[in-house]
Amino acid sequence: MQSTKPVIRLASQCEMAQVNLRRVRHTFPLIMLVCLGFIGIAGSLLAAAPKTMGKSTTKAASTAPEELPAEIPAVPYLTLAIARDPSIHAELGLKPKQIEAVHAAIADVDETFWQLRDIPVSKCAAQLDSLHTRLLQGLKKELTQSQLDRVQQIVLQARGWKALVSPEVVDKLKLSTEQVARLRTALADATKEREASEKEIAGQSVTNQEQARAKLRKADAKRFSEVLTARQQTDFSSMLGTAFDLGKIVQVGCVAPELRGVTAWINSEPITLQQLRGKVVIVHFWAFGCINCIRNLPHYQGWQEKFAKSGVTIIGIQTPETDSERKLDNLQRNVVERKIQYPVIMDGASENWKAWGNNMWPSVYLIDRKGRVRNWWYGELNWEGAKGEEFLRNRIEELLAEKP
């Protein structure tokens, strides 16, 4: 009889990843997002996508699950999120010079990773792999082999059970073709059960939710123990290493791209996001002729009135779509008519739109005191009862409560 003890330990490690990565759509890419989301870290490391309504410049991606063994969030995003976090730096015992090198390696790829967050992994896999390689090469310059190995262990924990059918794990554990097929079936069944359970327990007490998830963890342990041999269970446990609490990881999308190519400033002299470090910053993309954008404006104004004295700065980025929206005097008149009091910029050449990888009017992003994108929302905030205004308002208050 095969022992289930190693797998029960794996369930604890993998479930820790799933619990803390479940929150993500508006904090990390398809993280982390829909880890991102990260941790969003998993599927916005980012909470489920909201019901939104807005004007998109790209065809909406299918929400159907990708065929196994594709992983959401993709491994490169997990590596980025894990390498970035101070709790990981402490776990690795990094010295100041090493931390500086890690930040440099991340800065080299951060903005491009961010711009790819909403593109299906299948359509940008080669670019993600290239970015991942660059990131790992940067980390290798200062980290020891044992530190690099620990990073890989934590990444594997964050990947959860899906990692079992990835090529490197299949090879390491010497899984047979039959075992891989059974694992695929088990993963598909586990995913369906988890999705059904999450719908069923939505709105229930925290205690009921945790009990339901604990029951699923036991079911997963049994499901996978029936496929792996005792030796394979032990070997996989060794690959995972000591369990790390992924709940310590701060959900971050990226260091916010600096403002660029601004055609004009309204209600403010030119400022940079770097100058606003130490403040919570709200950036929203809009176009004054977009009805969905117009419906969001009262919410932004409400935040301005509520939080301006608390150290919150709002910046509206008007990226025009129509000829009328490209005329500065029209924008200036619209700002006055709608009594917008916070800074507004004209993104005439769409340089900020591109830098942020934005693809929808309206979109709003929250930036913490350290200049990092922490949450975002696409479309109308309260479309079909989505409660996006409340969601982001609560996040703003949380960011204000954080230490600079």
Residue 374 structural domain:
256-401
The answer, yes or no, to whether residue 126 has pLDDT greater than 70, is yes
- List Cα–Cα distances, 181 to 69, 173, 177, 233, 239, in angstroms: 11, 15, 6, 17, 21
Q: Are residues 199 and 266 in the same domain?
A: no
In three-state secondary structure terms, 216 is: helix
Q: Which residues neighbour 82 within 8 Å (Cβ) at sequence distance 6 or greater?
A: 39, 41, 88, 151, 154, 155, 158, 249
Q: Are residues 45 and 133 in the same domain?
A: yes
Closest CA to 395 of 107, 41, 46: 46
Q: Are residues 140 and 74 in the same domain?
A: yes
More confident residue, 23 or 342: 342
C-beta separation of 47 from 34 below 8 A: yes
More confident residue, 298 or 8: 298
Whether the upstream peptide bond of residue 73 has omega within 30° of 0, thus cis, is yes
Number of H helices, E strands in the chain: 15, 9
Residue that finishes a domain, picked among 248, 264, 292: 248
Q: Are residues 212 and 327 in the same domain?
A: no
Q: How far apart are CA 87 and CA 150, in angstroms?
A: 13
Q: Are residues 225 and 260 in the same domain?
A: no
Total domain count, the chain? 2
Q: How far apart are CA 356 and CA 259, in angstroms?
A: 10
Q: How far apart are CA 329 and CA 311, in angstroms?
A: 30
What percent of the chain clears pLDDT 90, i.e. is strictly above it? 70
Q: Classify 277 in phi/psi space as left (phi over 0), alpha (psi -120 to 50) or beta.
A: beta
Q: What confidence tens digit (pLDDT) does each residue in 237-265 have? A: 999 999 999 999 998 999 999 999 999 99
Q: Which residues neighbour 176 within 8 Å (Cβ) at sequence distance 6 or greater?
A: none
